[in-house]
Structure 1
Amino acid sequence: MQSKKAKIKVGVGVMIFNKEQKVLLGKRLGKHGDGEYAFPGGKVEVGETFVETAIRETKEETNLDLKDPKVIAFSNNLFIERYENQWVTIYLQVHNYEGKLINVEPDKCLEWNWYDLKNLPKPLFVATRLGIECYLNNKFYSESKSEIT
């Protein structure tokens, strides 16, 4: 059942790869995905491009400065009961970055680590799982109404 207060929100998830082709994931803290592993990212602010959001959110969360992030996919996450809103997530891929990895927001993320795509930690945040599926299957779009699909 749809909540009358629910809104459609737009966020970004940033797939940052290191030289070993491992992807950066953080273990989330708080009411939204507590204990789940997720990409750096967050809500798009009014007037921001997706690239600008990716650069800002990644810096705020990890201290890394992204170089040339590229939009690779998007998803429609219809878990209104769980997340209170419908989220459209834009995924960006980055292989070039500068700076030292620091957990800048320890109240929102327990830790950041690099993971092999063939050996990812669990549980994955729903939007992160959908982004990884798009990347691995060379899909530009994904949607899901349940946590299982």
Structure 2
Amino acid sequence: MTRDLKDYRPNVGIVVINPDGKVWIGHRFGMSGDYAWQFPQGGVDAGEDFEAAAKRELYEETGLSTIEMFGCTSDWIIYDFPPEVLAQKKIGRNFKGQKQIWYFCRFTGPDSEVNLQAHGEQEFDRWEWCDLDQVIERVVHFKRDSYRTVIAELKTLLGRV
């Protein structure tokens, strides 16, 4: 299946790994249920460098800035919005889904650096360090295939296939 990339919102995602090899996940603010967890992600402003966008989004959503970037996905990772998301004016407006470049970084600061209210619009209501192999079962259904691709690329990059 060929997708027209202009139908997808440009976006960045960020996978943050701590010194113990666990990844940062946040529970979406205002959402209930066990499947409302995700990695930080967000839109790219017009003319904005993608790595700069990833660092900005990471800080706005988590307060984290003590990081070392070490890679990104080799191409766009794409997912479609389901009908219930398309019906929401804020998220689904004008796009079929999202196309994302994912960045991988190591967190080298203290956990006290996490500030879920670092930016005016709060994205997460709680967070935790999670085993990479447990992330998929906690993510909303329509993002799972894209997360599988992201995690596979990360594992290859880390040499943990």
Per the TM alignment, residue 97 of structure 1 is displaced from its structure 2 partner at its CA by 4.4
Counterpart AA for 1:51: E
Residue 102 of structure 1: SS of its match in structure 2? coil
Q: Is contact 2:36–2:140 with CA below 8 Å preserved after alignment?
A: yes
CA contact (8 A) 2:19 2:108 kept: no
Please point out which of 83, 93, 103 is paired with 2:104: 93
The whole-number CA distance in structure 2 between the counterparts of 1:126 and 1:111 is 20
Which residue of 2 is the match for residue 102 of structure 1?
Answer: 115
Q: CA shift at 1:15, angstroms?
A: 0.4
Shift in CA distance, 12/97, structure 1 to aligned 2, threshold 3 Å: farther
Whether contact under 8 Å (1:28, 1:35) holds in the other structure is no
Q: Which runs of 5+ in 2 are unaligned?
A: 1-6, 87-94, 155-161
TM-superposed deviation, 1:72: 1.9
Higher mean alpha-carbon deviation, 93-102 vs 15-24, is at: 93-102
Q: Which has the higher strand share?
A: 1
1:146 match: none
What amino acid maps onto 1:87 in structure 2?
Q
Question: Number of paired residues?
Answer: 132
Q: Which residue of 1 aligns with 2:85?
A: 83
Superposed CA RMSD in Å reads 3.0
- Aligned CA distance change for structure 1 residues 50 and 135 (closer, same or farther; 3 Å): same
Query: What residue is the counterpart of 1:134 in the other structure?
Result: 149
State the alpha-carbon separation in 1 of the partners of residues 138 and 14 from structure 2.
18
Larger helix percent: 2
Q: Which consecutive residues of structure 1, in runs of 5 or more, have no partner in the other structure?
A: 1-6, 140-149
Between the two proteins, what is the percent identity of the paired residues? 23
